[in-house]
């Protein structure tokens, strides 16, 4: 069976199966007009997943209301090269993260750097990062 273009359904399915995953990765497009925000709060979850690791944390907003933030890093395989591991964050850790957030007001972001409970700054690309090094 062929359609109006003369392509068999098998060819159409094959082309779709190969091309759809190409559109799955969003990159940094949602952070095109992002602003940098510093969050101080408590880790609730550290999801060591592909294609992105996610850090979830409770942060008090300006009115004192507790807001759960979900911030993303890159893939675990990239984070490991910077000394960031599955054990870097634990629920209950009090941390500070600097993130880029989209301008839509959502409590989500992309991590730029993080201050661990031991006072050590980390970021992807550097195991021992200090903001003064910028």
CB 97 within 8 A of CB 111: yes
pLDDT reported for residue 8 = 64
Instruction: Report the candidate in 100, 103, 130 with the shortest Cα–Cα distance to residue 115.
Output: 130
Q: Which residues of the chain have pLDDT under 50?
A: 18-26, 29, 127, 129-134
> What pTM does this model have?
0.71
In angstroms, the CA 73 to CA 108 distance is 11
Name the CA dihedral angle for 59, 87, 49, 94, rounded to a multiple of 10 degrees: 0
Task: Give me the phi and psi of 122, to 5 degrees please.
Answer: -135, 155
Name the CA dihedral angle for 99, 37, 126, 85, rounded to a multiple of 10 degrees: -50
Q: Span 27-133: which CATH code?
A: 2.40.50.1010
Work out the number of other CB atoms within 10 angstroms of the CB of residue 76: 17
pLDDT reported for residue 38 = 95
What tens digit of pLDDT does each residue of 88-127 get? 999 999 999 999 999 888 999 999 999 999 999 998 765 4
Q: Where in the chain are the domains?
A: 27-133
């Amino acid at each position: 069976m062929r359609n109006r273009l003369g392509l068999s359904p098998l060819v159409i399915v094959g082309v779709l199966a190969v091309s759809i995953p190409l559109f799955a990765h969003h990159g940094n497009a949602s952070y095109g007009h992002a602003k940098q925000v510093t969050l101080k709060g408590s880790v609730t979850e550290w999801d060591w997943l592909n294609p992105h690791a996610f850090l979830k944390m409770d942060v008090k907003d300006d009115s004192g209301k507790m807001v759960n933030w979900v911030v993303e890093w890159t893939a675990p395989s990239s984070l490991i090269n910077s000394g960031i591991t599955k054990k870097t964050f634990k629920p209950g850790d009090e941390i500070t993260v600097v993130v880029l957030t989209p301008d839509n007001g959502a409590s989500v972001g992309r991590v730029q750097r993080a201050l661990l409970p031991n006072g050590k700054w980390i970021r992807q690309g550097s195991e021992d990062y200090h903001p003064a090094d910028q």
